[in-house]
Each structure stands twice: as C-alpha cells, then as structure tokens.
Amino acid sequence: MGNNAVIAAQSGISGSTKIGNNVMIGGQAGIVGHINIGDGAKINAQSGVGKSLKPGQSVTGSPAYDYGQAIRSQATARNLPEMEKRIIELEKLVKELMNKKS
C-alpha cells in the first residue's frame, strides 16, 4: 500500500495487490488479486478492476474501463434516439433512390 492512498468504505482488495502512491479508490470498488495499481490511479465507486492499472489511469464500471471512454459512451447513448430517427430517414431516402434507378 503506497503513501497518501485513499480507500472509501466497502471496497474490497484481494491479496497480493500492490497499490501505488496517491491512489484513489471509490466506495464499493472491487479489485482482484495479483495486480498493480499504478501511482495516481483513480478507481470510481462500484468499479470492478480485473487487471493492472498504469500510473495516472482513471477507470470506471464493471469490468472497469477507461473513464474518458465511459464518458464518451454515455454522451453517445443520450443521442441514440435522435440518431435512430436520422438513420430511418436515410434508409427511406436510399430506398427511394434505388427504386428510381430500377
């Protein structure tokens, strides 16, 4: 366990896991054994970490994945209903164009 590490309540860390300096672990996070958590890594609450983290890496989710990717995925998911409407409109236009060619 490194210096200045912060671990919130109800987190589970399996044996032989090495935690670096200045690591932040959110509440209810779970970490498997025999991995390394690099200096300055951040683990969001309720994340499930199954492999080593590089220094400064931030993760979220279960299984845990890159925090930046998670935020982009959430933003995209909010736009899915509008994107579906646009795809349906484009499919209709393509079908009309294909029928005109025939």
CATH code, 13: 2.160.10.10
Q: How far apart are CA 98 and CA 84, in angstroms?
A: 21
As for how many domains the chain has, the answer is 1
Q: What are the residues facing 42 on neighbouring strands?
A: 24, 58
Residue 92 lies in a domain: no
For residue 73, what is the DSSP state?
H
Compute and round to an integer the Cα radius of gyration of the chain. Answer: 21
Q: How far apart are CA 87 and CA 85, in angstroms?
A: 5
Residue 73 lies in a domain: no
What is the tens place of the pLDDT at every residue in 13-64? 999 999 999 999 999 999 999 999 999 999 999 999 999 999 999 999 999 9
Confidence (pTM)? 0.80
Domain of residue 53 covers 6-67
